[in-house]
A = this chain, B = another copy of it.
Amino acid sequence: MKIYRANILHTPTPGQLEIIEHGYVAVKSNGRVKGVYKELPQNMDWRRQVMDFGDKLLIPAFNDMHVHAPQYRNMGLALDLELLPWLNTYTFPEETKYADPEYARRLYRRFVHELWMQGTMRAAVFGTIHPESTRILADLFVQAGMGAYVGLVGMNRNSPETLQNTTAELMDGMRMLKAHLDEHGNNGLVRPIITPRFVPSCSDKMLTALGNYAAETGLPVQSHLSENRSEIDWVKELEPEATCYGDAYNKYGLFGQTPTLMAHCCYTDGEEMELMKKNGVYVVHCPMSNSNLSSGMAPIRKFLNEGIHVALGTDVSAGHHMSMLRVMQYAIQVSKLNYAQTKGEMPFLTLSEVFYLATKGGGSFFGKVGSFEPDYEFDALLIDDSYLNYDHYTLPQRLERYLYLGDDRDIKRRFCRGVELVEPTY
């Protein structure tokens, strides 16, 4: 057992920021939380084991639930372009380079290192169509001790010829990746995820095969949904029998039949929203990306009111930064612009709500992850905010100032599933 003392802040539920000033968290040897305590039990054995972090803040680590690893080199680039030229001139050519495993290794190292740096201990990641490079990416997560769902991407239509795989290649790759991670995935910390890029880039045959594979293995699914208006119209043309964009996944068994992440959902409403709710599909809200690509404002308050799962994602490189702090800020701000435009109809998101989304909201996709409740896996960040805390600030204020003003410099220690992770230097 390990026992840490610090100011402990977490959100067991969205509206409930729980604060234990100079509290203790006990972590069992299996990496799970035993409990959080204001006073330590009268147990000398426990007392001897306390690691005291003083006045620092201890918070759950962040989970980035939508990010494109092979777009890392393009982060902060080409944001004056609209979606199609951005894809064709920057994104697809970059992803094509990942046919070369050595290129992949060089860039994926930087990607995983930056996740670590930003305090993102788990992520749901898109790779490319290339099995070998995607396996390298998964191995880098394992070596770093971080958690990930790693997706070998399926795309066999409406994409550059150099960036397509056949259904057979995709399924072979998936099986290889699954077998590899079943054995070497750090006891399930790194797992594969079924990843059709999005409906327009996958033939019916590919979607059918992926749906069957989901049913066969129980593996989760990630993709894109209702990101912008022209995409939605396109899907309508391609899948005329689907009653909505979401149904175009649903009819193949790729929409909540196994745990499912759908990024964006800017224009999800009505039937699609109902279907997500009914099937327990997660919305991955990517407000930074949705601003950068002029996609629009997702109706997150409505999703939350409906009881739909919501997580957050950077969506690098349509998102321009890997910091989940930034994503939280954008989530609040976009909801406020929405609030202004609807003249207050839809209350904006609060700080404790987005803190929940960035931690437990996404973490719940991995199981018991994202808070310090008993039996939760201990994923945590130790924050030194002393330069922000130069005057008399309360603990809720210190958290707010860190979330709005902090950056990677403030993170002094990082834990994933109970293990303290050193900087990955491979």
**Contact, CB under 8 Å: A73 / B337:** no
Question: Judging by beta carbons under 8 Å apart, are A336 and B400 in contact?
Answer: no
Q: Evaluate whether A296 and B337 lie within 8 angstroms (CB atoms) in the complex, with A73-B391, A79-B351, A110-B390 already known.
A: yes
A272 to B75, CA, bound (A): 40
User: How many residues of chain A are within 8 Å of chain B by beta carbon?
Assistant: 43
Please determine whether A348 and B401 come into contact, CB atoms closer than 8 angstroms: no
Is there an interface contact between A294 and B391, defined as CB atoms closer than 8 Å? no
**One of B295, B297, B401 near A77 (C-beta < 8 A):** B401
Q: Does A159 contact B (CB under 8 A)?
A: no
User: Contact check: which of B295, B341, B401 meets A340 at CB < 8 Å?
Assistant: B295
Give the most central of A291, A321, A332: most B CB within 10 Å.
A291
Contact between A320 and B390, CB atoms less than 8 A apart: no
Q: Please, how many angstroms separate the alpha-carbon atoms of A401 and B79 in the complex? A: 10
Give residues 333-351 of A contacting B (CB, 8 Å): 333-334, 336-337, 339-341, 348, 350-351
A280 to B293, CA, bound (A): 33
Residues of B within 8 A of A332 (CB): 79, 292
B405 close to A75 (CB less than 8 A):
yes
Let me know if A407 is at the binding interface, CB within 8 A.
yes
A241 to chain B: which residues have CB within 8 Å?
Answer: none
Contact, CB under 8 Å: A321 / B77: no
Contact in complex: A341, B296 (CB < 8 Å): yes
Per-residue CB contact flags for chain A residues 257-297 toward chain B (1 = under 8 Å, else 0) read 00000000000000000000000000000001001111111
- Besides A76-B388, A294-B348, A296-B341, 19 more A-B contacts (Cβ < 8 Å) are A76-B401, A76-B405, A77-B393, A77-B400, A77-B401, A78-B400, A79-B332, A79-B404, A80-B350, A80-B351, A228-B340, A292-B333, A292-B336, A293-B336, A294-B339, A297-B337, A321-B404, A321-B405, A407-B407
Question: Do residues B333 and A291 form an inter-chain contact, with CB atoms below 8 A?
Answer: yes
Integer count of this chain's copies in the complex: 2
The answer to whether the Cβ of A397 comes within 8 Å of any Cβ in the partner chain is yes
**Would A75 and B401 count as touching, CB distance under 8 A?**
yes
Q: Please give the distance in Å from A328's CB to the nearest CB on chain B.
A: 11
Q: Which residues of B contact A334 (CB under 8 A)?
A: 291, 337
Tell me whether A250 is interfacial, beta carbon within 8 Å.
no
In the complex, what distance in Å separates the CA atom of A400 from the CA atom of B86?
15
List 16 contacting pairs A-B, 8 Å CB cutoff, sorted by A.
A75-B401, A76-B388, A76-B401, A79-B332, A79-B351, A79-B404, A110-B390, A291-B333, A291-B337, A292-B336, A294-B339, A295-B340, A321-B404, A337-B337, A407-B407, A409-B409
Assess whether B320 is in contact with A397, with CB atoms less than 8 Å apart.
no
Name the residue in A78, A295, A321, A329 with the highest tally of chain B Cβ atoms < 10 Å from its Cβ: A329
When A and B form their complex, which 9 residue pairs have the shortest distance between CB atoms, in order from nearest?
A76-B404, A291-B333, A76-B401, A294-B336, A294-B340, A76-B405, A320-B404, A296-B340, A80-B350
Tell me the minimal C-beta distance from A386 to chain B in angstroms: 14
The chain B residue with its CB closest to the CB of A338 is B294
A228: chain B residues within 8 A (beta carbon): 340
* B-side contacts of A407, CB under 8 Å: 407
A325 CB → nearest B CB, Å? 11
Q: Which residues of B contact A337 (CB under 8 A)?
A: 291, 294, 296-297, 334, 337
Task: Give A350 to B80 CA distance when docked, in angstroms.
Answer: 6
Hey, what's the 0/1 contact readout for A22-62 against B, CB within 8 Å counting as 1? 00000000000000000000000000000000000000000
CA distance A289 to B137 in the complex (A): 39
Provide the A385-422 mask, 1 if CB < 8 A to any CB of B, else 0. 00010110100010011011101010000000000000
**Known contacts A320-B404, A321-B404; A397 and B340 CB within 8 A of each other:** no
Complex: A350 Cα to B390 Cα, angstroms:
38
Distance, CA A388 to CA B77, complexed state (A): 11
Q: Chain B's nearest CB lies how many Å from the CB of A423?
A: 14
